[in-house]
Each structure stands twice: as C-alpha cells, then as structure tokens.
Amino acid sequence: MTAPLATAVPHEISAGPFGKLEVTGILSGMGTTEGDHIPGDSPTHWDLSNAQVFVQKTTGWWQFYLQAGAYNLPAIGYPIISTGDTTKELYGPVPVAYLKLVKGSFNVEVGELPTLIGAEDTFSFENMNIERGLLWGQETAISRGIQLNETYKKLTLAFSWNDGFFSNRYTSLSGSLAYAFNAANTLSFVASGNAGAYNRIVLPLSNYSPTPLYQNNSEIYNLIYTYAKGNWTVTPYYQYTHVKTNPSVGILQGSHTNGGAILANYNFKHGVSLAGRAEYIKSSGTVLDPNAINLLGYGPGSGAYSFTVTPTYVKDGFFIRGDFSIVHATNTTPAYAVFGPNGLSVNQPRGVIEVGFMF
C-alpha cells in the first residue's frame, strides 16, 4: 500500500495445523459526480467501493495470501461501473489468492497475483488517489500464474509467467528489477509482454474488460523512481507500450503509446495529507489510416492529459478522502465517443468522495 492509508494492526487467529493467521479488512463507500458524462453513464453514482477481508499466513516455509469480497475500480476517463458488476465481470469475489513458498530471501508465489507493472496498484485503498490514472488503463492488473522473487542486498528481482490481462492463456512474461540506493530512493525497471498471440475478447461492459484485444497482445515497459522520506512520497515514472501488427488476431497495423506521470503525497499533522497526480499519454497512428487501432479509446493517434488532487483525513482505522480530477483529450476523433452526450467534448471533470474503515 502507498501512503496515506494503511491497514489496521492484524487480528491474529489460531488456525490449528495452519498455525497463526493474520486477518485485516476494509469497508468503504464512495460517491461520484462528473461533468460531460457519456450516454449510459450516470452523472452521479453512490456505491460500495470496498467490502473486503484479507487473510494471510506470514510465517514458516509455506505461506499464503487471500483477498475476498466486493470492490470497485474507478478510473479517470472511463465510466463508473457498479460494484456488483465490477466484482462479477472482472476478477470475481476472490480477486487475489496465492500460495507462497519461502526459502531464505527467495520465494515462489502461485495463484492469482497482483501485477508487477506500473506505479499504481489495482484497488482504491492501495493508492494515493481513489481513481486509477490514464497510464493504468494500458497496464495489467491481476494475472494468474507463477512468480519468482529474490532479494540480494539492495537489489530485488521478480519474474512471472502468467496469463497477462486475465486471458486464461499462459503466454505472458513479466519481470521487475529494483535497486534501492538507500532507504529513501529506489529505481525500478519493469517489463511485460505476450509471447503468444490471442484474440479472446471479454467485453461484458462498455469500455471495461479484463482482456482487451490490443493490450493483451502488447509489450509494456516502465521506468519508475520512488522517493519516500519523512512526510514525502514522490513517484515519477515513464511508460512505453507497443502492439505489434498481427492480422491473425485482427491487428492489421501495430501502434504504441508514450506516457509519463508523477505521483506525490505529503503528510501533514493530525492525520491530514494531500496527494496529487499529473499525467500525459499519447498514442501513435492517424484516423486517416483505415487500419489504425484505437488504444486510448479517443481515436487513433489521440492523447490525453490529466490532473488529480486527493486530500485525505485518517483517524485510527477511519478515513475520508476526495478526488478532484480533470481529463483533457487531444487529437480526438468524433466517430469515437469521447465525453459528453454527443461524444464531442474533450474534457471531463469528476469528483469522488470515499469514506471507510480499515479493520
């Protein structure tokens, strides 16, 4: 988890042959309001954002982590989907669950795993901001597979063989290399790619799929720097994605994106903090090319800026915070609905408030 939120002190349960288990959880709700909403997307929405329990065994040569419950994954620039539909149509009521085998500084994880990609995690409570950003929209979130982890002095390595964008086809590889210069400064290089090609498209909800065709056949590269000291956490990162031409799965012409973001959080006194995120992403291609693909949703060759600010108040397990965000799309194509009832607006402001308890 990234500041400012943190899990509560774990509740310890004696589980016989399993040893001692650590149990924590979250219960939170959210309300949203937005301008220039697209048809079918309500300008206001109230829902649970998280009702989850986390159970883990953290000692011994075999360990495990289990995360279960309901969740919402709000992201700027995308419609707000109900928590019920999100849980049902994406990763199910048990989105993360894995067995961990430990030998010294080396361990192996097998199951449904959090992605190695990007500087933002999947669930709202894990991040500085309530909503995920523009770059997150090109990244994997949860993958099924196996992951190897090793720590040697200041170097941490991870390698995973998995099903990429939850495709249930195990042809994706990802890896992470992180070097901690000292306690405050870390630089990471992360990469992921599909070694096969697969045209399975799961599209239960408009613009909301765990297995989008183009991204599931993409390569992703991140360079992430993190500074965390005292009251400050600052994370700038660069992202490049590339989709190769592959007519066999319907990709008649490849494309790529370039993007960058900076995320920052400052903790004031008395449980008050302020986080911010600024982003830019640009895709290649042109609408004049009939084979150009639409990676961002705003048309071939489109781009977008975003800015989000999130004030937060935390008192023991209770928290309340709000997102104030604006997305500005560039080089858009009217044929691809952008924002507004007619799909012609290039701006979308949104406000989100989230209230809950970590227990």
Give mean pLDDT, residues 310-339.
92
The residue whose two tokens read 């992703």 is: 220
pLDDT at 204: 41
Q: Does residue 92 sit within a domain?
A: yes
Question: What's the structural domain count of the chain?
Answer: 1
Assigned domain for 4 exists: no
CATH of residue 264 = 2.40.160.10
| Lowest-pLDDT range of 89-98, 205-214, 268-277 | 205-214
**pLDDT number for residue 205:** 40
Q: What is the pLDDT of residues 225-237, one digit of tens each?
A: 999 999 999 999 9
pLDDT digits (tens, 9 = 90+) for 135-153: 999 999 999 999 999 999 9
Of residues 7 and 30, the one with the higher pLDDT is: 30
At residue 52, does pLDDT exceed 80? yes
Rounded distance, CA 44 to CA 34, Å? 7
Instruction: Tell me if 6 is assigned to some domain.
Output: no
Averaged confidence pLDDT in the chain: 93
Identify whether 5 is part of a domain. no
The C-alpha atoms of residue 25 and residue 22 are separated, in whole angstroms, by 10
Note whether residue 267 is domain-resident.
yes
Q: Distance (Å, rounded) from C-alpha 17 to C-alpha 49? A: 34
Domain assignment of residue 100, given as a range: 11-358
In a domain, 203, yes or no: yes
Question: Given pLDDT bands bounded at 50, 70 and 90, which one contains residue 202?
Answer: very low
Q: Which residue has the higher pLDDT, 180 or 213?
A: 180
Q: How does DSSP assign 45-81, residue by residue?
A: EEEEEEEEEEEEE-SSSEEEEEEEEEE---BTTSPPP
Give this prediction's pTM.
Answer: 0.93
Query: Does some domain include residue 76?
Result: yes
Inside any domain, residue 320: yes
What is the token pair recorded at 205?
Answer: 């909800």
